[in-house]
Structure 1
Amino acid sequence: MATLKLSDDFYEPTCSLVAVHCPLEAYRLAYFLNLHLQIRLRRIAGRASSECDVLSEYYEWENQMEETVWALIVNATRTQALSAGNDLFPSDEFTVTNYLIPEMKKVDYFLKIENGEGYDTEKQIVQKINEIPRVTTAYEVDVNQLKSKHNLIFL
């Protein structure tokens, strides 16, 4: 019987990705991005946090005039879990951290822009994000160089 395998390169990303290092909460960063970039990010209600949901906070704006989709995604999600199998200390809790892009653990947020070629250049977007107070740094990420670029498919 023949076995069929999918190639790892079947997903060709058509988006821009900006990494943002910022100590602000996601809702505050979304507010400042809306203010500085003249966009309208809103929290998606269907993406409520659960125990193992990496997308606990997800903000999105679909610009139908220019056919672009902007998404602000939290990279790291921390959840509390109980230790299992040890009856000596059954109530031990520990924190589990899940990353959207595990190879970029120090990044706090990602701004994903789909079909954004006609909006602004990525350098102008990064420059405007770096002007936001309390943003440490922002820079472009080459999606093709990411090992876990497949995590961005369904966002």
Structure 2
Amino acid sequence: MIAVGQRIPDAVLSELTADGLVEHQVRELFAQKKVVLFAVPGAFTPTCSNAHLPGFVALADEIKAKGVDLIVCVAVNDAFVMKAWGEQQNAAELLMLGDGNAAFTKALGLDLDTGSFGGPRSRRYSMLIEDGVVREFNLDAPKAFEVSDAKTMLGKL
């Protein structure tokens, strides 16, 4: 599992833009930037939609005022789902990225198999990444939402 002080693994995350599908190389996207990254088990799921994503939407300006260049939300969903969820949640200030095949999530060691309920998913976490290196890492216990929230991250910036 990824830890504070380690470099973020390289992988491809997808974004659906007005110009079409964009594939981002993670290391390139995060290079020379201060990034808040948070991951959710799935778009449109109850805790993710009612608390996790809305918290980052509500505090986006305050987080960016602390020198954060990007706030990134990742889920093991495709870019089409992530775009629709971001639009529904008014998440225009966030970068909504899909990890459709869970390659990034697995490279982090943060994958979770939910079986027939949803298959491979991500554990719930948030990270502060500076120039590709993890500086803060907040990992929630399975089925919990206690430390990966926006307010906790804001307090650590």
Larger radius of gyration: 1
TM-score, scaled relative to structure 1: 0.30
Normalised TM-score (structure 2): 0.30
| Greater share of residues in helix | 2
